[in-house]
Amino acid sequence: MNILEAIMQAQNGGAVDQLGQQFGLDSRQAESALGALLPSLAGALSRNASQPGGLDGLLGALAGGQHARYLDDPSTLADPATTDDGNGILGHVFGSKEVSREVASRAAQQTGIGADLLKQILPIVAAMVMGGLAKQSSTGAGFGAPPAGSLGPSGAMPGAGGGLLDMLTPMLDRNRDGSALDDVLDMAAGFLGRR
């Protein structure tokens, strides 16, 4: 299951319904917003996890952050503390508010939803992503090494998170060639080209 599926299926769609209600979107718009924002978040998380110490940091955040509650109890998404947590996640994975604004702007072009509204939604989606990853890591999946001789998600070395980061890979493998690395590099090049 990839991260989008995990979020969409949480509480029989309750997390997506909550997101829509919270921001005045119908279910189709909420799904569209998720679909447009998730690849950038997944790419940033994968990139960070592939840095030295990055996977340990991600696993530590998942172990101590109680993020699973965002999908287990969708009403928590409306709590201002969730927005604060999401903004902290965004600051860590994107590094600057400029990148967050760029992600929202690009998602607005894809969805027709206003960039200002998407900027408000982005921290909630970041919290939901961490919730999906926390649920995956709590099952014990995600800590195994890929088969011998293979590369892990996004071209990471074997042992770099296995199934946990595999949740992110389908969101990133845009050309469906089995490797997200080329697609992440294309996204990064797109970011740099727009600055």
Per-residue pLDDT reduced to its tens digit, 145-191 = 333 333 333 333 333 345 555 666 554 444 445 444 444 444 444 43
Which of 80-94, 135-149, 160-174 is the least confident region?
135-149
Q: Let me know if 144 is exposed, middle or buried by CB neighbors in 10 A (0-12, 13-18, 19+).
A: middle
Q: Which two tokens stand for residue 19?
A: 């997101």
Range of the domain at 148: 3-194
The pLDDT of residue 163 is 55
The pLDDT of residue 30 is 92
Which of 38-42, 109-113, 123-127, 147-151 is the least confident region?
147-151
**pLDDT category, 43, cuts 50, 70, 90?**
confident
Which of 18-22, 63-67, 111-115, 170-174 is the least confident region?
170-174
**pLDDT category, 135, cuts 50, 70, 90?**
confident
The pLDDT of residue 128 is 92
The pLDDT of residue 95 is 85
Question: What's the mean pLDDT when you consider all of the chain?
Answer: 75
Q: Let me know if 14 is exposed, middle or buried by CB neighbors in 10 A (0-12, 13-18, 19+).
A: middle
Instruction: State what percent of residues in the chain have pLDDT above 90.
Output: 36
Rg (CA), the chain: 16
Number of domain units in the chain: 1
Choose among 183, 182, 154, 167: nearest CA to 4.
Answer: 167
Could you count the other beta carbons within 10 Å of the beta carbon of residue 87? 17
